[in-house]
Amino acid sequence: MRVGIEVGGTFTDLIAIEEDRVQVIKVPSTPSSPEIGAMDALRFSGIDIRSIKELAHGSTVATNAVLERKGGKTAFITTSGFRDILLLQRHGRTRIYDLAYQKPVPVVDRASSYEVSERVLADGSVIELLDQEDVRLHLIPELLGSGYVAVAICLLNSYVNPTHEILLRDILKECAPDIFVTVSSDISREFREYERASTTTLSAYVQPVMERYITNFEELLSREGFSGKFSIMQSNGGRVPGGAMRNQAITALLSGPAAGVTGALHQAKRSGFENLITLDMGGTSTDVCVIANGKAQLTQEYEIGGLPVRIPVTDINTVGAGGGSIIWLDEGGMLRVGPHSAGADPGPACYGRGGRLPTITDAHVVRKTIRAEALLGGRMALSTAAAFSSMESIAEKLGMTVEETADSAIRLADANIVRAIQLISTERGLDPRDFVLVPFGGAGPLHATAVAEELGICRILVPPNSGVISAFGLLASDFATYESLTRRVPLDPASPIVVLKLLSEMKERAFLRSDAMGIGRDCAVSFTIGMRFVGQAYEIPVEIDLGSVETCTDFDLRSSFQRAHHAVFHFGTNSNRPVEMVSFRLGLMSGGAVKPVLTEPAGAGSSSYAVKAFIRGAWRDGKLMQRSSLPRNREISGLAIFEDTTSTLLVPEPWRLSRDEHDNILLTREERHD
């Protein structure tokens, strides 16, 4: 028995796979104690916890700790003269016309920022040794007396020479063993001091929270007799053993969305598709990601709450347009959706838990694209009256019917999702029409066709049990670890030798880390170089083929860079400007594990029922079917709604639908050339 449990903002999803049997469960999340929701899912499933061989887990705990500012009390230690780096940040403004603009507030204030006497130059040479006596006599008593539970250490230029960081860490562990200590050279060995300091501080900030959460969850599992392998999803699309996450909590950000991307890719590959745009629409938000040639792209330019996180993260764009996103009117009387959400408690008005504000889920209930008696397979009844009541005030102010208001709100949510996809596709030189849209999450299949039409996409693939694909992705993912560093190397005939040397060093460090985590060395290796024209401020990631790295020349490296540069900026292919390599990233992804297979439960017959739904401004006739009863390889057209226990699929005209031998539903429409 292999089990994946993903804790979302509204629902906690469980999938259990044993040979060819698949069991799925969705239960409401418990935001105050997420581990309780995870255990509720296990208990509700009826699974004997003692029979679980492997349990993979993903959650929003780390993300919520940052967004809600509920991390541990953290101190920041840096080189003398750089105490204000977390406050100074960068000169750029995200809202250039906002006269009241303020920079994001760091998780550590100035009073909790400390300096130590030491200095390392950019080439790694030491011109001032760490003042150990001052650390022991003054710094440590101050930390102990102020009640800090975590310390973030980020010394100047330690990405080149971490000697002082390591020494300071050892002193702190000796004198203050109960304090969590995080050093930048373990988290991100790359330049740009502010980004590195922010990443290290955020990692230290969420470390006590993740430690407490993992410990509580493991204790609950142990009481029920669990003795299998426990792993946690990372934001880079790979897992680590539960114990390893205690030392790198920052990688738990975006673990749920990253698992969804992995699960969607694994299932779509079975039907032969590798160029995908994933659309994960849950209760709180919608996450979109581009997958090219069977690989989800990684980025190191991620932000959370406006604060940069410089670690490899699956390149996901998030927009506040989930099923629980609140529908409201702005000061000018314009209809808006999100980004605030009703969450799991109290949830949408139709849940009957005290929520009064209208949400996208309420809008679907009003339009009858979600049946009030069908959520979670009928286990969770919804109140149509409450959904109508929540939207009446807005409808009256707009001079519209409640149904028209609900339809308009859903179309507005669709527009927000379209814009999120454009940011990671068309604005990066990719044409969405060349990709297959893969919707999942509880609400993704409801919005897929409208989003696809707006983007010109003609093919949609909806996986089976699409509402729990993130939980499935936990089991479909491999174990992974990454190494990164900064070395500015000019691209010239001697640079391939430098690349080989750095590759060897990074590979050995990564293998040592994987050995410590118990992953072993049977891993696939990826290698990416951040390159740029000399004088540019930021670099372009260029993936290097390890099969040819030993024979590549500087001309080969330049050609690879110029192709990557042209794909983003549409120039640079024929430029003779000097090029430099700036950053290097190496990834290890474990292989060999048998991947789970996701299937549709058997259905009873193929009965359909006549229904009416308010879509695109009018009531329309259609048919309702259970997804499991859809015959394989038989095409269906016309307005149809397909239900399962985890999600609802809306298929309007002119889309045609069929179910393939892998239980994926394929939607197609005629390609337009206007």
pLDDT band with cut points at 50, 70 and 90 for residue 367: very high
Q: What confidence tens digit (pLDDT) does each residue in 481-527 have?
A: 999 999 999 999 999 999 999 999 999 999 998 888 888 788 889 99
Q: Please check whether residues 75 and 207 belong to one and the same domain.
A: yes
CA distance 33 to 210: 12
Instruction: Give the per-residue pLDDT at 593.
Output: 64
Domain hosting residue 663, numbered range: 609-668
CA distance 560 to 497: 17
Q: Please check whether residues 75 and 185 belong to one and the same domain.
A: yes
122 is a domain residue? yes
Q: Please check whether residues 200 and 101 belong to one and the same domain.
A: yes
CA distance 25 to 42: 9
Q: Please check whether residues 550 and 638 belong to one and the same domain.
A: no
pLDDT band with cut points at 50, 70 and 90 for residue 580: very high
Task: Name the DSSP letter for residue 282.
Answer: -
CB 611 within 8 A of CB 624: yes
CB 639 within 8 A of CB 656: no
* One-letter identity of residue 508: E
Mean pLDDT (whole number) for 1-26: 87
Q: How far is CA 480 from the centre of its chain?
A: 15
* Higher-scoring residue by pLDDT: 248, 308: 308
Q: Give the contacts of 103 (CB within 8 A, at least 6 positions apart).
A: 87, 89, 306
The phi and psi torsions of 63 (rounded to 5 degrees) equal -60, -50
Q: Please check whether residues 537 and 657 belong to one and the same domain.
A: no
Q: Please check whether residues 195 and 79 belong to one and the same domain.
A: yes
In the chain, the largest separation of any two C-alpha atoms, in whole Å, equals 80
DSSP line for 7-53: E-SSEEEEEEEETTEEEEEEEE--TT-HHHHHHHHHHHHT--GGG-S
Q: Please check whether residues 555 and 633 belong to one and the same domain.
A: no
pLDDT tops 70 at residue 606 = no
Q: Give the contacts of 75 (CB within 8 A, at least 6 positions apart).
A: 108, 112, 113, 114, 143, 146, 148, 150, 151, 152
Beta-bridge mates of residue 113: 76
Q: Give the contacts of 638 (CB within 8 A, at least 6 positions apart).
A: 622, 623, 653
CB 449 within 8 A of CB 652: yes
The H-assigned helical ranges of 92-183 are 132-134, 140-145, 163-175
The H-assigned helical ranges of 493-626 are 495-517, 554-569
Instruction: Give the per-residue pLDDT at 673.
Output: 54
271 is a domain residue? no
CB 159 within 8 A of CB 196: yes
Q: Give the contacts of 448 (CB within 8 A, at least 6 positions apart).
A: 279, 437, 439, 460, 462, 649, 650, 667
The phi and psi torsions of 298 (rounded to 5 degrees) equal -105, 150
- Average confidence score pLDDT of the chain: 89
* Higher-scoring residue by pLDDT: 600, 167: 167
Task: Name the DSSP letter for residue 551.
Answer: T
Domain finish residue from 164, 183, 211 = 211
Instruction: Give the per-residue pLDDT at 340.
Output: 86
pLDDT band with cut points at 50, 70 and 90 for residue 602: low
Tokens of 618: 């009018």
CB 662 within 8 A of CB 674: no
Q: Give the contacts of 485 (CB within 8 A, at least 6 positions apart).
A: 159, 189, 190, 502, 506, 583, 584
Q: Please check whether residues 530 and 634 belong to one and the same domain.
A: no
pLDDT band with cut points at 50, 70 and 90 for residue 674: low
Q: Please check whether residues 504 and 620 belong to one and the same domain.
A: no
438 is a domain residue? no
598 is a domain residue? no
CA distance 534 to 409: 47
CB 312 within 8 A of CB 278: no
Q: Please check whether residues 535 and 644 belong to one and the same domain.
A: no
36 is a domain residue? no
* Higher-scoring residue by pLDDT: 437, 373: 437
The H-assigned helical ranges of 518-625 are 554-569
Burial-class residue 220 by CB neighbours within 10 Å (0-12, 13-18, 19+): middle
| Residue 391: closest CA among 375, 407, 413 | 407
Q: What confidence tens digit (pLDDT) does each residue in 382-431 have?
A: 889 999 999 999 999 999 999 999 999 999 999 999 999 999 898 888 89
Q: What confidence tens digit (pLDDT) does each residue in 115-154 have?
A: 999 999 999 999 999 999 999 999 999 999 999 999 999 9
170 is a domain residue? yes
CB 615 within 8 A of CB 363: no
CB 259 within 8 A of CB 235: no
| CA-atom Rg of the chain in angstroms | 26
Query: Could you give the percent of the chain with pLDDT greater than 70?
Result: 97
User: Strand ranges (DSSP E) for 29-132?
Assistant: 54-58, 74-79, 113-116, 119-120, 126-128
pLDDT band with cut points at 50, 70 and 90 for residue 376: low
255 is a domain residue? no
CB 7 within 8 A of CB 37: yes
Q: Please check whether residues 568 and 614 belong to one and the same domain.
A: no
397 is a domain residue? no
Instruction: Give the per-residue pLDDT at 549.
Output: 85
Strand (E) or helix (H) holding 363: helix 360-367
Mean pLDDT (whole number) for 303-332: 89
Domain finish residue from 562, 590, 618 = 590
pLDDT band with cut points at 50, 70 and 90 for residue 301: confident
CATH number, domain containing residue 545: 3.30.1490
Which of 28-42, 70-84, 401-415, 430-444 is predicted least confidently? 28-42
State the residue for tokens 């250490």. 153
Domain finish residue from 590, 625, 647 = 590
Beta-bridge mates of residue 328: 336
Q: Please check whether residues 505 and 541 belong to one and the same domain.
A: yes
The H-assigned helical ranges of 84-145 are 85-88, 132-134, 140-145
Total number of domains constituting the chain: 3
CA distance 241 to 639: 46
